[in-house]
Chain A
Amino acid sequence: DSGVTQTPKHLITATGQRVTLRCSPRSGDLSVYWYQQSLDQGLQFLIQYYNGEERAKGNILERFSAQQFPDLHSELNLSSLELGDSALYFCASSVVGLAANEQFFGPGTRLTVL
């Protein structure tokens, strides 16, 4: 158990819908990262937050947005869902936003868009 929690574990929805994925980092970790794992694209970095502020952006679609709240939990919002958004979404956290630190990954949220 990494100490990072993600809810829900599974999510099944329809095209065009909007969903919110939630992540609680390990106690004391200020940085949160979101990754998408799909068969087509593999594991891809989406976005990073550090202490409430966006720190780095990767291949995140405009239909996706994220935020980190004062209690450090983070939410990833996916809207106008398409079939291709079906994937495993991971959240990771680290002590500070430094590459040297190990990123602890949550169990993931499996999103299925029908």
Chain B
Amino acid sequence: AQKVTQAQTEISVVEKEDVTLDCVYETRDTTYYLFWYKQPPSGELVFLIRRNSFDEQNEISGRYSWNFQKSTSSFNFTITASQVVDSAVYFCALTPAGGTSYGKLTFGQGTILTVHP
């Protein structure tokens, strides 16, 4: 069985602070994909990043960066110089890369990020 744990239920920061959202996962699959999604107050789910289990390179996209560490089964997400528009619920998700469950996303419980002006 797969499991995704996002330790922080809620985080509150002031604009321009850096913030890191933690994600720890459990899976028996040797190959898998990890995702981060953003859910703004409007409710839709917005894709942020996909990472496969073979690629442990960190990735940076503008103010967003992701740190994937297979040894600790973690896939953490950092927002640098946070902005009010970053306020949303962020979900980490996992799916196996093959087998009968591929495509089935297992989500963490989400982290509510509030950025105050």
What is A's interface to B at a CB cutoff of 8 Å?
Answer: 2, 31, 33, 35, 42-45, 48, 55-56, 58, 88, 90, 92, 94, 97-100, 102-108, 110
Alpha-carbon distance between A107 and B100 when the two chains are bound, in angstroms: 27
B45 and A99 contacting across the interface, CB-CB below 8 Å: no
B106 contacts the other chain (CB 8 A): yes
- A99: which B residues are within 8 A, CB to CB? 32-33, 95-98, 102-103
Please pick, from B35, B98, B101, B110, the residue contacting A42 in the complex, using a CB distance under 8 A: B110
Alpha-carbon distance between A44 and B52 when the two chains are bound, in angstroms: 21
6 further contact pairs, Cβ within 8 A, besides A43-B110, A99-B102, A105-B44: A45-B105, A94-B103, A99-B32, A100-B33, A108-B43, A108-B45
Alpha-carbon distance between A112 and B108 when the two chains are bound, in angstroms: 24
A42 and B102 contacting across the interface, CB-CB below 8 Å: no
CB distance from B79 to the nearest CB of A (A): 20
Please pick, from A45, A90, A104, the residue contacting B106 in the complex, using a CB distance under 8 A: A45
A35 and B105 contacting across the interface, CB-CB below 8 Å: yes
Report the count of interface residues on B (CB-CB < 8 A).
29
- A103: which B residues are within 8 A, CB to CB? 47, 103, 105
B91 contacts the other chain (CB 8 A): yes
Beta-carbon nearest neighbor of A102 in chain B: B47
Alpha-carbon distance between A98 and B105 when the two chains are bound, in angstroms: 11
Given contacts A42-B110, A43-B110, A100-B33, contact A48 B103 (CB under 8 A): yes
Given contacts A43-B91, A99-B95, A102-B50, contact A107 B106 (CB under 8 A): no
CB distance from B42 to the nearest CB of A (A): 8
Choose among A43, A88, A94, A97 the residue with the greatest number of B CB atoms under 10 Å from its CB: A43
3 cross-chain pairs, A with B, having the tightest CB-CB distances, nearest first: A105-B45, A43-B107, A99-B102
Alpha-carbon distance between A107 and B41 when the two chains are bound, in angstroms: 12
What are 6 A-B interface contacts by the 8 Å CB criterion?
Answer: A33-B105, A42-B108, A58-B104, A98-B102, A99-B96, A103-B105
